[in-house]
């Protein structure tokens, strides 16, 4: 998958994946969604973001999770 809105720059945010060089980490947006913020609330709080940024952030996070197994508690 080709991500056009996610950037990684070793000189910004310690090389964390960010949205369009905005110093807005992908993890921050994913956390806002996990905490229950809606897309409209996120865009209102961060006017530099665009709806496409949020969608690509979620796609990026989904791809990142596919790449490795995280320790989970078994039932």
Half-sphere exposure of 67 (CA within 13 A, CB side): 7
d(CA 57, CA 50): 11
**Domains of the chain, residue spans:** 6-66
pTM: 0.83
Q: What is the pLDDT of residue 1?
A: 73
Q: Residue 17: left if φ>0, alpha if ψ -120 to 50, beta else—which one?
A: beta
**Tens-of-pLDDT digits for all 75 residues of the chain?**
789 999 999 999 999 999 998 999 999 999 999 999 999 999 999 999 999 999 999 999 999 888 676 666 766
Evaluate the CA torsion angle 18, 24, 28, 33 in order and state its sign.
negative
- 1.10.10.10, 2.60.120.560, 2.60.40.2550, 3.40.50.11540: CATH of 6-66: 1.10.10.10
Q: What is the pLDDT of residue 66?
A: 84
């Amino acid at each position: 998958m080709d991500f056009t809105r996610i950037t990684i720059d070793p000189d910004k945010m310690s090389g964390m994946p960010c949205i369009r060089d905005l110093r807005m980490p992908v993890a921050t947006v994913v956390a806002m969604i996990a905490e229950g913020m809606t897309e409209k609330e996120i865009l209102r709080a961060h006017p530099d973001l665009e709806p496409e940024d949020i969608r690509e952030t979620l796609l990026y996070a989904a791809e990142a999770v596919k790449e490795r197994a995280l320790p989970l508690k078994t039932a």
